[in-house]
Amino acid sequence: MLLKYFLIFSLSSLQHYISGSVYASYFLILLLFILIIFNLLNIRYILDGKLLFKFTKSDILIVLFAIAVFRSYVGHTISASSFIYYLALMILMTSLLKIDVQKKIFWEGFLGSIMLILFINVGLSFFGMTNNYFRPIFTGNIRLLEYFGIGLKRHGYFIFNNFSYYSMLLSILIIGISSIIEINRIVKYFTLVLSFSSLIILDDRTAVFALLIILLAKPFIKRVAPKYFLYIFISIIILPFIYYLIVINQGSINNENTAVLSSRNLIWVQFFVNYRPSFAKFLIGYGFLGQTLSNISSSYAYLFGNRGTNQAFIMSLHNSYLQYLIDVGILGLFILYRIIKQTLFKIDSLKIPEFKLLLFFLLIFGITEMSIQINNFNGFYTFMALTYYVDFKYEVV
């Protein structure tokens, strides 16, 4: 289980980081081949009647995103090969998770694979093997340390997708080994030290602040009742709206706030200024990469010209909930809300409140990054694994 998810996470991360290159295509093909092999190996468990394959309400998200990807292909935003890749990945990865969550050592293997990536990355860094091995990338000073007068360059790792997504993976590991699985105390503290140190070096403030909120509010989060989740969900998703109203009221954007948010707020403002959907588009969205299909991305592409024209053009809205709105519409947002609320209810029924910590981390992380989105492999399939696991446990009980 550990090596299985180590291969899956490693290949998906490497493929994402060097997307568009020849090597990325090799990693992509290898990833799909490995997923096919692992799925075939799982068939014997189904045929023997040891494990069950069932559809759950969480699969509605897969259907929504499959439709969104198809619409993106029809709209000429992605190629036929990209359409086939996303569709195959969703089918193969979710079918694998459906079976694997029923195995006793699932979370040990799932989280252990992230731990192994961490150890390998730190080890390779001592020998100068970083993300620059595949593709050089500009790195500025670590802004978290600059607050304390320390000037150091941020650092990427060898098995790497980007600063935000790898930081998210480490945060998932920290929450997991702190609350979900039991491991040797020495290994646990060693892993925590390496993880926190890596988070600082990566300098993704969203992951750091979201993780701190989860760890500090841990007792409260564990007691959150499903009936109050609507208020929490609304409080999280309206933050960009509140920011936009403040900007409109003041008539300008504060440079200091822009720096703090790494220009994400500029993207949000452009979204609200240019988002003029028809009723149908508001209901079901524009399709995958809706910012491109709606032409909104062209209004902020110039802000990120140093990252490459194509990447700037399709750059996400850096907010999961705005991205849901433009990709799969208000219907998609409502379905996400319902799935999480029902998952919280089942978590309370099963008396496993520690899994709420992962859920709320993904929700908070989504304020300024992609979290429960198919173009964030780490976040989306962690979420799907969690919901499948809870659904399975609930059915057994």
Q: What is the pLDDT of residues 163-211, one digit of tens each?
A: 889 999 999 999 999 999 888 899 999 999 999 999 988 888 889 899 9
**Tokens 């086939």, located at residue:** 84
DSSP 305: G
- Spatial neighbors of 294 by CB under 8 A, at least 6 apart, are 274, 275, 277, 281, 286, 326
CA distances from 252 to 241, 245, 258, 262 (A): 15, 11, 11, 16
Q: What is the pLDDT of residues 284-318, one digit of tens each?
A: 999 998 888 888 888 777 766 555 434 444 678 88
DSSP 118: H
Mean pLDDT of 138-166: 76
Closest CA to 207 of 269, 245, 154: 154
Single-letter amino acid code for the residue at 74: V
- Spatial neighbors of 42 by CB under 8 A, at least 6 apart, are 51, 95, 96, 99, 100
pTM for this predicted structure: 0.90
Closest CA to 61 of 29, 106, 93, 31: 93
